[in-house]
Amino acid sequence: MKNLILIRHGQSKWNLEKRFTGWADIDLTDQGISEAHNAGKLIKDLNLEYEICFSSILKRAYNTLEIILKIIDQKNLKYERHYQLNERHYGALTGLNKNDMKKKYGEKKILEWRRSWNISPPSHNKELNKYIIYPNIQETNIPRSESLEDTYKRIVPFYEKNILPLLKKDKNIIVAAHGNSLRALMKNIFNISNNKIFKLEIPTGNPLLISFDHELKIIKYVYLDKNRAKELLCNV
């Protein structure tokens, strides 16, 4: 059996302020730090050995992972940061308050931008670059806005190239990422339809354990903090 742990970063400062975050590099709140500590304890209690872990290049994700790794305290455990695991790019909505945008555009339009499969928010302008970091990313790979489908096309090939081969070698892997990048990845793993994916909610700081057999068929999946679990819409 091999195991994949997916975790959305702990609560960020813009989560708390109800602002669209996307690729903006925003740190954790005190609650987010606490969620990461709790996640680390839950993962440690599994008594699994890990060889390598992954996060996005955004500090709310890699700080969450670093807290977890400090708690599980396994020697020679490596981790890598990759922009392919970044949150969905929210374009011109980046940094704006969600409630304010509902008043301006209407709840239906905001829901469409947030949760539809293939509709992107308006593209961002250069002023938003004060929030957004692009270290070591080719300009052709930098989006100006993304739908969930765009995010899927970014993260799933990365997963298939970099993570699946490790699972095939019986490695246990931790991935710390974001609500929409994990939503896109879980769409692939759990075979969730385009029509249902908008319903998938992913809690902050709650590790999702997915266990596979030797043929990489899912045999178990569970949120480690059952009190904060969400429905997984699994179709496998």
Is residue 236 assigned to a domain? no
Is residue 175 assigned to a domain? yes
Is residue 144 assigned to a domain? yes
Q: How many domains does the chain have?
A: 1
Active-site option among 9, 89, 124, 178 = 9
Question: How large a percentage of the chain has pLDDT more than 70?
Answer: 95
49 is known as an active-site residue: no
Range of the domain at 85: 2-226
Amino acid letter at 127? E
Give the tokens for residue 97: 């308050």
Is residue 155 assigned to a domain? yes
With cut-offs at 50, 70 and 90, classify the pLDDT of residue 20: very high
Is residue 146 assigned to a domain? yes
Nearest 10 degrees: Cα torsion 224, 158, 61, 24: -140
* Beta-strand pair 208-212/218-223: antiparallel
Is residue 146 within 8 A of residue 88, CB to CB? The reply is yes
With cut-offs at 50, 70 and 90, classify the pLDDT of residue 124: confident
Q: Tens digit of pLDDT for each residue in 30-83?
A: 999 999 999 999 999 999 999 899 999 999 999 999 999 999 999 888 899 999
With cut-offs at 50, 70 and 90, classify the pLDDT of residue 216: very high
CA 64 to CA 209: how far, in whole Å? 16
Query: Domain of 126: which CATH number?
Result: 3.40.50.1240
Q: What is the pLDDT of residue 115?
A: 87
Is residue 80 assigned to a domain? yes
Could you identify the residue written with the tokens 């539809």? 116
Is residue 23 assigned to a domain? yes
Q: What is the pLDDT of residue 231?
A: 86
Reduce the DSSP state of residue 128 to 3 states and report it. Answer: helix
Question: How large a percentage of the chain has pLDDT more than 90?
Answer: 82
Q: Tens digit of pLDDT for each residue in 71-110?
A: 999 988 889 999 999 999 999 999 999 999 999 999 999 9
Among the listed ranges 67-81, 91-105, 112-126, 158-172, which one has the minimum average pLDDT value?
A: 112-126
Is residue 26 assigned to a domain? yes
112 is known as an active-site residue: no
Active-site option among 35, 87, 89, 146 = 87
Is residue 209 within 8 A of residue 220, CB to CB? The reply is yes
